[in-house]
Amino acid sequence: MNDDSDHSLDPLAPRVDETSEGLQELEPVQETPAAELAVEMGGSLRLPEGIELDRNDFDFETSEDQTMIINMGPQHPSTHGVLRIMMELEGETVLRSKPVMGYLHTGMEKTAEELTYVQGCTNVTRMDYLSPLSNELVFSLATEALLGVEVPERATWIRMLMCELNRISSHLMWLATNGMDLGATSMMIYGFREREMVLAFFEKTTGLRMNHNYIRVGGVAADLPDGWQEDVALICDTIPGRLYEYDELLTGQPIFRERTEGVGVISAEDAVALSATGPILRASGVAWDLRRSMPYMFYDALDFDVISRTQGDTLARYEVRIDEIRESVKIVRQILEKMPYGDYRAQDKKVTPPPRARIDESMEALIHHFKIFTEGFKVPAGEVYVAVESPRGELGCYMVSDGRSKPYRMHIRGPSFVNLQSLPAMMRGGLMADAVAIISSVDPVMGEVDR
Amino acid sequence: MVQDVTGAAVLYPSRSIYLETVEGLKLDGHEMLSDLCAVDYQAHMDRALPAGVLPERFEVAVVLVSMSRATRARIRVQVPESDPVLDSLFGLYPGVDAMEREAFDLFGIWFDGHPDLTRILMPEDWEGHPLRKDYSIGRVPVQFKSAPGPR
């Protein structure tokens, strides 16, 4: 437990001494205070009040042998970016582990306070770079909730279409990297190949393969391109067949099963207590999907299943993701049928710039356009928390406005950031080699973890 | 209790009953804590608050979710500048660990009872708390250790 006697003296003083490297480092299990062991196991949740923690209560099966503390990362091919994991090993068994992050911290929340709501989407889209459209969506939904702008139906359906396609591409990317982490190198090539189809459609629609800035406050940046139905239908026709091939390649393959089955198990109680969301939570038996449980946009008008498994291991998380691709394809097919005609952005002069053609003929339109892109629009004072289901879990945006055209505070609840907390619980007692599989199964995107 | 535009209940407990309020909500069926973040209201002290709630410089917003009822509750607790200390929710929701560390790191709010309150995003020896409003952008000049100096 931290010594909290000195902080009351001058609470505003920077606590550099308390954040020295000494406190950050992992210590051998014998020298670690009981409270810190409890952190790693979520033990304090289950302890009745007033009971003194005793380090003997923890069933760390330690022999007299000396343990070894090693760092995995931050530069390690299997840590998906710059994640560093400190592990205490006994032989090849991971006794304890602790994720260390912050290597990619770029202060996007601070940056957001300096950008207008029009520019804000370009900032948030770079957080979770594998599902940029979810980020734009949650930012736009939060701003629209404060503004009270009604988004046209077609714009909402386009948003859903793009987000589901993004879920497919994100999960395919996960399948690819997961395959590579486990040594199934061919899976990597296949995953990238199928993802390319989706990215090509994104490029056609938004102009970019990632960091689209496509979903904006009030609607989307542009209507879907001509012939989008054929492109989307082609994706929907191709991907299920390819998924069947992946099933052949991985799901039934003994080596793959050996490396994933029963590895990194997390129980439903632990997952909920550790605030894990997304495939991790669903793989442990809790069918919690914001698209179904707390529907936003028009997800309640669609027919899809919430995929869940009960094993809570790495294989279950793999199965949840691969089945979620199938469900997303199902959703995309329904959106294809239900896509209404209409406007792709709100015709609210406050938030929507005039059409490009008008700028050439009308001085007022030019001024209007200039005003929106330089000053932005003012958002009524207030605060709101909006959450959507990103491919990684609950992606939330807490937005505070003070009535100006820039967010007073914008906080993104990154699902990867929170999900990483479940890593020590999953890795405990496993093999060092399994750690790679487990990190991969959490699917952390470091851009979102560090923001 | 107030409801916001998304239908979530918003509560404004004082610091002294913050922990009890969250505990009450947990017993009431809010199984998961989905978010905790701090806001520095130094430049926006005239924000709308219900009668009886004294605005302070910092505010910590906690979002709880009830999975059985599919509802959210948000707790906004005022934290004064002179004594930015708040009880940690770690004992109730272990998942708050990283979020409280983040609020401590970026705002300098101390969470009493958090077992490992260290910087999480900034370097360990960083001075100051960057998301505070009086921490201006670009105040720290970029320095390169091995740069030979002005040419």
- DSSP string of A275-338? T--THHHHHTT----HHHHS--TTGGGS--PPP--SS-SHHHHHHHHHHHHHHHHHHHHHHHHH
Is there a contact between B104 and A19 (Cβ–Cβ < 8 Å)? no
Mean pLDDT of A156-177: 92
When CB atoms are compared, the residue of A18, A45, A107 closest to B130 is A107
* CA–CA min distance A406, chain B (Å): 13
Residue-averaged pLDDT of chain A:
83
Q: Which of A66-70, A124-128, B135-139 has the highest mean pLDDT?
A: A124-128
User: Starting from the edge strand earliest in sequence, which strands make up the sheet with A68-72, in order?
Assistant: A68-72, A84-90, A93-100
**pLDDT at residue A357 above 50?**
yes
Mean pLDDT of A355-363: 86
CATH number of B2-112: 3.30.460.80
**pLDDT at residue B122 above 90?**
no
The pLDDT, as a whole number, for residue A203 is 92
Mean pLDDT of A357-380: 88
DSSP A16-43: TGGGSHHHHS---GGGS-HHHHHHHHTH
Mean pLDDT of A211-229: 89
CA-CA distance, A45 to B91, in Å (whole number)? 6
**pLDDT at residue A42 above 70?**
no
Would you call B61 and A385 a contact, using CB atoms and an 8 Å cutoff? Answer: yes
**pLDDT at residue A300 above 70?**
yes
Q: Of A335, A345, A344, A386, nearest to A163 (Cα)?
A: A335
pLDDT band at A163 (very low <50, low <70, confident <90, very high): very high
Distances (CA, A) of B139 to A107, A195, A275, B133, B136: 14, 42, 35, 12, 6
Would you call A19 and B125 a contact, using CB atoms and an 8 Å cutoff? Answer: yes
Inter-residue long-range contacts of A9-15, CB under 8 Å, 24+ positions, other chains counted: A11/B82, A11/B83, A11/B84, A11/B85, A11/B108, A11/B110, A12/B81, A12/B82, A12/B84, A12/B108, A14/B108, A14/B127, A14/B128, A14/B129, A15/B108, A15/B110
Mean pLDDT of B47-71: 88
Which residue ranges form the domains of chain A, and what is each CATH number?
108-348+378-415 (1.10.645.10)
**pLDDT at residue A139 above 90?**
yes
CA-CA distance, A330 to A236, in Å (whole number)? 8
**pLDDT at residue B141 above 90?**
no
Q: Where are the domains of chain B?
A: 2-112
The pLDDT, as a whole number, for residue A63 is 55
Q: Chain A interface, mutation test: which of B36, B45, B120, most A Cβ atoms within 10 Å? A: B120
Question: CB atoms < 10 A from the CB of B16, how many?
Answer: 8
Q: Chain A interface, mutation test: which of B75, B106, B119, B129, most A Cβ atoms within 10 Å? A: B119
Mean pLDDT of A176-180: 87
Q: Of A112, A218, A118, A227, nearest to A159 (Cα)?
A: A218
pLDDT band at A62 (very low <50, low <70, confident <90, very high): low
HSE value, Cβ hemisphere, 13 Å, CA-based, for A187: 26
**pLDDT at residue A44 above 50?**
no
pLDDT 10s digits, A72-115 = 877 777 677 788 888 888 888 888 888 888 888 888 888 898 88
Would you call B127 and A14 a contact, using CB atoms and an 8 Å cutoff? Answer: yes
Would you call A110 and B74 a contact, using CB atoms and an 8 Å cutoff? Answer: no
Residue-averaged pLDDT of chain B:
85
pLDDT band at A20 (very low <50, low <70, confident <90, very high): very low
pLDDT band at A161 (very low <50, low <70, confident <90, very high): very high
A269 touches B: beta carbon within 8 Å: no
Q: Of B39, B85, B90, B30, nearest to A421 (Cα)?
A: B90
Give me the interface pTM, i.e. the ipTM: 0.87
Instruction: Return all residues near A169 (Cβ < 8 A) that are at least 6 apart.
Output: A130, A131, A195, A198, A199, A202
Would you call A14 and B128 a contact, using CB atoms and an 8 Å cutoff? Answer: yes
